[in-house]
Amino acid sequence: MEIKTKNEEIRALLGIGSPEFPKYVTQILNLANQNAQATRPKVVGQMSELIKGFNGKTLAEWENWYLERYPEAIDRATEKILNMIENFKEAIGKIDEDMVRRWVWDLVIVKTFLGLRFQEAVLRKLSEEFGLDYRLASPEEEKKGIDGYIGGVPVSLKPRSYDSRKLLPEKIEDYVIYYEKKKDGPRIFIPEDLESLLKRGKDNKE
């Protein structure tokens, strides 16, 4: 049995009203908060731990209990978000049709293409790092779990969060290169045995 409910209903069940905001305001405030990191533990405390130490029952009791321990937290978080809102206002004033068009073009055209060619970019980066040739796998090789070759060594490229070892053919299970996408660019993780093999290949080539 599955029962679905909504946050508004939970608040109503506990007798807590929902604040009303103009359209788009909460989205802007959430974004400003994320950028300002205004409600991080260093500002407002580790909430998941704090609530464990609260023995009261009502919202008023929780408010008093919390503010006794973090009397300036609400004001500090508010100030951080307001400062970020001012930054948003300044940035919005610089946005025109040409800027929006360039942003859309980069998102739709460039970043889509980069996503399609991501594996090749990683292979090329590693080939430069180890001074070895690379190539993409053929369709038949892809069926075996191979994404490409570096210096003749078959490798598979997988997200770091993806446990692919159990799914890959035994012969290349030790040659899985993991990556993790970050805002400033991907991080590439190479197993020690593969790193040693590629270094030997580089030495032999030289």
What would the two tokens of residue 128 be?
Answer: 């430069």
Instruction: Answer whether 151's CB lies under 8 Å from 130's CB.
Output: yes
Per residue in 5-25, pLDDT (tens digit) is 888 888 888 888 888 999 999
CA 30 to chain centre: 17
Average pLDDT, the chain: 87
Instruction: Answer whether 130's CB lies under 8 Å from 206's CB.
Output: no
Instruction: Answer whether 195's CB lies under 8 Å from 169's CB.
Output: no
Burial class for 129, CB neighbours closer than 10 Å (0-12, 13-18, 19+): middle
pLDDT of residue 162: 66
pLDDT of 177 higher than 70: yes
Q: How many residues does the chain have?
A: 206
Per residue in 94-116, pLDDT (tens digit) is 999 999 999 999 999 988 887 77
pLDDT of residue 206: 58
E strands within the chain?
Answer: 134-136, 148-150, 153-159, 176-180, 187-189
* 118: nearest Cα among 189, 181, 198: 181
What would the two tokens of residue 156 be?
Answer: 């598979």
pLDDT of residue 52: 92
- Name the strands in the sheet holding 153-159, side by side, starting at the edge strand that comes first in the sequence: 134-136, 148-150, 153-159, 176-180, 187-189
Instruction: Answer whether 205's CB lies under 8 Å from 127's CB.
Output: no
Per mean pLDDT, which range of 24-28, 40-44, 187-191, 197-201 is the poorest?
Answer: 197-201
SS3 category, 184? coil
pLDDT of residue 170: 47
Of 191 and 203, the one with more pLDDT: 191
Rounded to 5°, the CA angle 169-170-175 comes to 90
